[in-house]
Amino acid sequence: MTDKALSYVCGVANAPLLGDTIGRGLDRAARRWPDREALVSPSHDVRWSWRDFAARVDALAAGFLALGLERGARIGVWSLNRPEWTLTQFAAAKAGLILVTINPAYRLSELEFALAKVGCAALVTATAFKTSNYMDMLNTLIPELAQAQPGQLKAAKLPMLRAVIQVGGPLCPGTIPFDDVARMGGARQRETLATLADTLQFDDPVNIQFTSGTTGSPKGVTLTHHNILNNGYFVGRAMRLTERDRICIPVPLYHCFGMVMGNLAAVTCGATMVYPGEGFDPLATLQTVEREKCTALYGVPTMFIAELDHPDFASFDLTSLRTGIMAGAPCPVEVMRRVNDQMNMREVTIAYGMTETSPVSFQSAVDDPEERRVATVGRIHPHVEVKVVDLEGRVVPRGARGELCTRGYSVMLGYWDEPEKTADVLDKAGWMHTGDLAVIDDEGYCNIVGRIKDMVIRGGENLYPREIEEFLYRHPKIQDVQIFGVADDRYGEELCAWIRVRAGETLTADEVRAFCQGQIAHNKIPRYIEFVGEFPMTVTGKIQKFIMRDTVESRLGLTAAKTA
C-alpha cells in the first residue's frame, strides 16, 4: 500500500445547504430586496423589481391551478429566452408542478417524444422565432388543437395534454394567451397556493431536463427543489454575487446553465437577471453588457469567441464586468486568457458539471491564481463528493486519469420512468458515473481530460483529444479546433482535426503538421486535417463529435480494422 493520496475530494462548506423550496426562495428574495431589479429584458421592454416579479409569479401560479393543473403534473415550456419563460419556471415551482424544459431546437419527432415521455398536461409555447414556427409544428403534431376548446384539448398522440398556452401572437385557435392565465386565479386558488407553500417538500421533483441525446433517445433528468436551488446558490457564492450584481444571461434558459446557474443563482443572491435577447447574438450581448452595466457574463467558449472576434468588439465599454462563468464545453486556455484580459473579467470562473448533477460539481474561485483558473475547472463545490476511478471502479491516486464520479445533494432523482438507464449511471452507493475522464491534483484542482467515449484508441494507445486541441489553440491562425477519432483499417482509429481559421487568415494542413512537428508526439499529430466554417453543435454549445466522425468516415469511405 502506498502513501500517495487518493483521488477523492469532499467540498468543505462555508455555508449550510438551503432547506427550502424554490417558491420559498423567491418569497425571501421579494422580502429582502423588494425594490431592486430582478429581471431586465430590454427587447421585451421588461424591468421588474423582485416585489413585482414575485407578484406576477403568484398570479401565474394561481392561474395554473385554475386550469386544473394539480401537484405533480408536468408542464412543458418550449421557448427561447423570454420573461414569460422565467415566470413559468417560478410559477410552476410554486404550484407544485414539474417543469419540463424543452429544447427550442426540437422538431416534430423530438417534441412528440418529450411531451409523451413525461406525460405533459400543459405546454407553454412561443409562437415563432426566426425559422422556427412553433405553432405550425404544434398544429401538425396535434391537428385537434385548432377545433379544441382552450384548456380542454383531447389529442390522440398526446392523451395527457390538456392545455396549450401561447406566448406572443397572433393567437392561434385552441390556445390560451399567456397573459390571460394570470387573470384566471381567484381567492380559492390563492388559498391553495398558501397551503402548497407549507406542504411542498424540497425533495419533491420540480424539473425534468432532457439530456442532449447525442446517443440514443434523450433521457429525462429529474431534479428536485433541493438539487437546483442549492446548486444555483453555491454557484453564485463562488462568484461572490450580491444584490448589487447584474448577470448577463445569453445562454439558453431551457438548460441548467440559464435556469439554474443564472436564474436560481440570482434569486438566492439577489442579483439581477439580464437577458440580452431570445437567442444568442454576440453584438446584442456586448450592447446589453454596456447599457445595463452588467457585472457578470455567462457563456460557452464558442459564445466568448464570437464576442471577442466581433468586428466592433473594441468599441464597447465592458469595464462594469467583474466575473462570470465559462462552461458547457471544454474551455480553451487561450480563450480564457483573452476573456480575462480583454473583457475585464478578472474574476471569471470555470464551472464543470452535468445536467444529472444539477449541474455544477467543480468551479474555480475568483481569487484562484490565473494559471489554475485557465488550466483547471477549479475545486470541488461545497457539500459535494467526487472520486476518480479506474475501469474496475477502484479509486486512483492523485494525478492519475480515470472516470469522474459525483455524490451528494446535487445528484438527480433519476431518469424519468427509466429505472434501468438510471441504474446504468447511478450506483447503489449513490455515485453518479459521469463518463468524463478527469485528473485531480495534490491540491484538489480538477482537470477534465476528455470523455470516455471521445478517447481515441490508435494502435492500442489511448489518445486524448483535449490535450491536442489545447496545443493547437496556440497557433495564431487557429480560431477554434476539434479533434476526434475516425475509423482506420490498420490502427483501428486515426486522428482527425477540424479547424476554423481566423478571419482574413489562410492555413494549410502542411503548416499545421509543421507546427506540431517536434512539439507533440508523432502519434498525436492528426492524420486528417480539414478546414471548416462551423462545427455541428447542440443549442447549448456542446460539440457533436459523432456527427463530425460520421461525416468524415462517410466522405472518405473509412472503415475500422476487423477484429476477431
Distance CA 329, CA 314 (A): 26
Q: What is the pLDDT of residue 408?
A: 98
Cα R_g (the chain), whole angstroms: 24
% of the chain at pLDDT higher than 90: 81
- pLDDT tens string 479-499: 999 999 999 887 888 999 999
Q: Is the dihedral of CA 539, 377, 4, 465 positive or negative?
A: positive
Q: What is the pLDDT of residue 130?
A: 84
Domain spans, the chain: 22-36+44-210, 456-556
Q: What is the pLDDT of residue 214?
A: 41
* Side-chain-facing half-sphere of 369: CA atoms under 13 Å: 5
Average pLDDT over residues 223-229: 98
Distance CA 521, CA 51 (A): 60
Q: What is the pLDDT of residue 455?
A: 80
In the numeric block, which cell numbers belong to residue 213? 441525446
Average pLDDT over residues 412-424: 96
- pLDDT tens string 50-92: 999 999 999 999 999 999 999 999 999 999 999 999 999 999 9
Distance CA 365, CA 516 (A): 33
- pLDDT tens string 299-344: 988 899 999 999 999 999 999 999 999 987 667 778 888 999 999 9
Distance CA 90, CA 38 (A): 13
22-36+44-210 is classed CATH 3.40.50.980? yes
Q: What is the pLDDT of residue 564?
A: 33
In the numeric block, which cell numbers belong to residue 560? 475500422
* pTM to 2 decimal places: 0.86
- pLDDT tens string 155-187: 999 999 999 999 998 999 999 999 999 999 999
Q: What is the pLDDT of residue 355?
A: 93
Average pLDDT over residues 231-249: 98
- pLDDT tens string 10-38: 999 989 999 999 999 999 999 999 999 99
Average pLDDT in the chain? 93
- pLDDT tens string 120-148: 999 999 999 988 899 999 999 999 999 99
CATH architecture of 456-556: 2-Layer Sandwich (3.30)
How many Cβ atoms from other residues are within 10 Å of residue 459's Cβ? 13
